Amino acid sequence: MLHLSFRRVAIALLVLGTVTVGGGLVLWLATGQVYSLEDAVYFAVITVSTVGYGELPEMSPAARVVTSLLIIAGIGSIAFFQSTLTALLVEGAIGKAFRKRRMEKRIQAMRDHFIVAGAGRTGRMVVSELISSGVDFVVIDCDEHHIQRIEQEFDANLLYVIGDATEDHSLLEAGIAHARGLVACLTNDPQNLFVTLSARSLNTQARIVSKVVEAENEPKMLKAGANTTVSPNQIGGVRLASELVRPKLTRFLDETLRQQGAGLRFDEVEMPSDSPFVNSTLSQIPIRQRTNLLVMALRAPDGTLSFNPRASEAISAGTQLIVIGGPEDIVILREMLGVARHTIHG
């Protein structure tokens, strides 16, 4: 739509230029070439713009006719150009306001979604993973260019709030009251601490994960309300060491877990209390028959982990199945167990 508007402006500008230059050429011929071509074009500009410094000397009847037609055509061309340019500006402003209002309504209607506070380098990777996971989420950032860059990179239409994530009104606009979780991944620890504190005061049930730059600030984040913290520096150090001493294993994990589209992924699926398979054993749940998932572990409601679970192990309500497999198979498992699937709309 915007592209077509720019095209109309270009056409209007071309018409105006053609009338002016063409009128100057015709005026030059109609005056018997008494003036130079440059002077004739200059006089045409004066005529079209309706400035009118006065009538030219030695104006023949033919030149007067040309001048009259040039005035009419010039006024029409200027009116066409102005109306087209005004329409472009109005359409852009109204269109942007309409898109913003529609986005606000969609965010207000969201439930059980995630919020990403910060769309910088760390936030960009968080958004990438959330897109791959197929969950609803809202991004908060002060700079709209960060959002646009992520949208272009991942070819996605994001739901976002332009504002300061440390302020309550930005979190409320992003739907923190009904959010399932929040990631605080701003530039420094004080900002993430404010986000964590504000988010916890606005939603006591949400899971909050905060980025920590300095390790000594982790206890403060946890006291402020974060469920857990992640240190990019620590993870980066572990990754560097793994590349050094276990390069083949690291490469294998990269190839299996980080391939766009076709890669495998770890995920957790919690057994709902109203699932038809609650208290069933692993062998009674048709995971192998309907998916290619591999159940790596079970996490009981009390937090106990059971690796490589036996087929005879019963799955009670609240138990989390830690699986590895393709995204489509994980969706099938969620639907099979009766877990609501949170998809990205639009």
* Rounded distance between C-alpha atoms, residue 184 and residue 227, angstroms: 11
Q: Is the pTM of this model over 0.85?
A: no
* Residues carrying CATH 3.40.50.720, the chain: 111-230
Residue 27's Cβ-side half-sphere holds a number of Cα atoms within 13 Å equal to 31
- Looking at domain 264-337, its CATH architecture is 2-Layer Sandwich (3.30)
Q: Average pLDDT over the chain, rounded to whole?
A: 84
* Rounded distance between C-alpha atoms, residue 158 and residue 148, angstroms: 9
Instruction: List the one residue out of 55, 92, 85 whose CA is nearest residue 71.
Output: 55
Least confident span in 96-100, 120-124, 127-131, 300-304: 96-100
Domain 2-106 carries which CATH code?
1.10.287.70
* Residues carrying CATH 3.30.70.1450, the chain: 264-337
Q: What are phi and psi of 280, to 5 degrees?
A: -80, 160
Structural class in CATH, domain 111-230:
alpha beta
* Rounded distance between C-alpha atoms, residue 318 and residue 146, angstroms: 38
pLDDT one-digit tens code per residue, 11-20: 877 887 787 7
Q: E strands within 48-180?
A: 114-117, 137-141, 159-162
The DSSP code for 284 is G
Specify the pLDDT at position 345.
Answer: 33
Contact 170, 161 (CB under 8 A): yes
pLDDT one-digit tens code per residue, 230-271: 999 888 898 899 999 999 988 887 777 665 555 678 889 999
* Residues carrying CATH 1.10.287.70, the chain: 2-106
**Bridge partners, residue 23, by sequence:** none
Beta-sheet pairing, 294-299 with 305-307: antiparallel
pLDDT of 7 > 80? The answer is no
* Rounded distance between C-alpha atoms, residue 201 and residue 47, angstroms: 68
pLDDT of 87 > 80? The answer is no
Contact 157, 134 (CB under 8 A): no
